[in-house]
């Protein structure tokens, strides 16, 4: 299909491109940016007047809930939610049922996603069999079947020796290990340790649960030479340790969730289970440190941490409720809100767009294969994964308007900036208002 996107403000954070012009798409590729040859005859035109045309978003933390948890989220509904939020590339976690620890399961999931013609799917494979933390998976075979990295998801490893062997294996073949830094025993609470958790009588997760895990990971990285991506840093102390590790030259990257970027433990309110999240919401100083670190590049990427949760699992008492919230459709708007909150939205806009496009694509790096040069970027000859959104539009988050099967979000009722008008994936219009 030939598509002509006209009169949009073209922004590519990776190259610094920022100009008004047209985008011509043919055979799944961008064939021209800015000025389009008059002989180009499109099958479809999209008027982007007053809108920003940017690379499609890359989300590094999405639970699709398939296989095994279809009552909480179907592959189809979550892929719909992705393109409605301008997300064209999705990294999914392996904590499904069965766990993504076999090549056949990964191939099946990728095949089903491709049939839907929605966002691109990049699965993470399980680091250990069944996420049990004992036997390493066949990383080489999983990579061949399409895995872009390996993780324990939210299941901490009890054995440091197993973690060391996993990092050695990954370092040998150049794979990236994705780890959520949380010490096994200290991390068993339901809210961030502090006055609010004490007052509400909720079991706390101290900052030390994150920092102890980080110290362990960094020491093992020094001895193995492995590359690690840290998932969902949540504390000021954690951010500082990451900053020091990068300064020391360790091959480390990290992300934060939209929840930790905008919310604090006060948002739990009176036991609001929508704010029952992993990692838990922390204090304001932690949130401020995360915001600053995302701006200065210490934190590489912003993720939705999309976790659809069944209605019944959220109506339980706070401590018993299943952690998680929907976020795919909110990712772009909350990145823009962060730019707005900075005080100078125009200046902060390129970075706000970078942390959801080029920066997460850079985290994936060579795991993208032939797509590495163009995912998360606007480049002539690159893949036509595009998002067209109206920066002036504002919308209110309402459960009944979300396309995801998970309707629970702590941002329910918030008015957010930016509304997606169209999403193009591989040269096909996947979503249009």
Q: Known catalytic residues?
A: 305
How far is residue 412 CA from its own chain's centroid? 19
Rounded to 5°, the CA angle 352-353-355 comes to 70
Check if the beta carbon of residue 48 is closer than 8 Å to that of residue 7.
Answer: yes
Question: What is the phi/psi pair of residue 223, to 5°?
Answer: -85, -25
> Which neighbouring-strand residues pair with 419?
390
Give 102's contacts (C-beta < 8 A, 6+ positions apart): 142
Distance CA 376, CA 140 (A): 26
The pair of structure tokens assigned to 194 is 């502090």
Residues ≥6 apart with Cβ < 8 Å to 256:
232, 233, 234, 290, 293, 294, 299, 301, 302, 303
What is the secondary structure of 44-69 as a DSSP string? EEEE-TT-EEEEPEEEEEE---TTT-
Count the Cβ atoms, other than its own, within 10 Å of residue 249: 8
Among candidates 403, 402, 424, which has minimal Cα distance to 413?
Answer: 402
């Amino acid at each position: 299909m030939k598509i002509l996107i006209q009169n949009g403000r073209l922004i590519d954070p990776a190259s610094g491109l920022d100009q008004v012009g047209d985008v011509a798409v043919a055979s799944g590729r961008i064939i021209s940016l800015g000025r389009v040859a008059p002989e180009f005859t499109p099958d479809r035109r999209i008027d982007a007047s007053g809108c920003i045309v940017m690379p499609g978003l890359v989300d590094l933390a999405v639970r699709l809930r398939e296989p095994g948890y279809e009552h909480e989220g179907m592959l189809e509904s979550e892929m719909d939610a992705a393109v409605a939020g301008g997300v064209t590339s999705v990294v999914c976690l392996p904590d499904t049922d069965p766990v993504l620890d076999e090549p056949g399961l990964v191939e099946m999931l990728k095949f089903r996603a491709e049939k839907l013609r929605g966002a691109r799917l990049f699965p993470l494979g399980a680091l250990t069999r069944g996420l049990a933390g004992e036997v390493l998976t066949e990383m080489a075979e999983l990579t061949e079947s399409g895995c872009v990295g390996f993780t324990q998801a939210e299941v901490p490893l009890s054995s440091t020796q197993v973690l060391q062997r996993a990092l050695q294996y990954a370092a040998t073949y150049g794979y990236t290990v994705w780890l959520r830094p949380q010490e096994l025993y200290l991390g068993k609470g339901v809210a961030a340790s502090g006055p609010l958790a004490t007052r509400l009588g909720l079991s706390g997760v101290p900052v030390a649960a994150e920092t102890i895990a980080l110290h362990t990971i960094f020491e093992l990285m020094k001895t193995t030479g492995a590359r690690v991506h840290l998932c969902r840093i949540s504390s000021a102390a954690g951010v500082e340790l990451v900053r020091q590790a990068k300064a020391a030259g360790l091959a480390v990257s990290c992300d934060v969730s939209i929840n930790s970027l905008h919310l604090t433990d006060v948002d739990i309110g009176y036991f609001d289970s929508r704010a029952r999240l992993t990692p838990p919401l922390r204090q304001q100083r932690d949130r401020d440190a995360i915001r600053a670190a995302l701006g200065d590049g210490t934190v590489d990427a912003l993720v939705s941490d999309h976790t659809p949760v069944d209605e019944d699992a959220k109506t339980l008492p706070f401590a018993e409720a299943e952690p998680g919230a929907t976020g795919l459709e909110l990712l772009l708007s909350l990145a823009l809100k962060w730019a707005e909150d900075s005080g100078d939205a125009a200046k902060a806009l390129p970075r706000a767009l970078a942390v959801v496009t080029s920066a997460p694509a850079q985290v994936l790096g060579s795991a993208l294969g032939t797509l590495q040069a163009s995912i998360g970027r606007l480049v002539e000859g690159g893949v036509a994964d595009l998002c067209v959104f109206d920066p002036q539009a504002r919308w209110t988050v309402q459960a009944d308007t979300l396309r995801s099967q998970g309707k629970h979000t702590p941002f329910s009722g918030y008015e957010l900036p930016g509304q997606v008008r169209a999403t193009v994936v591989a040269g096909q219009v996947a979503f249009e208002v």
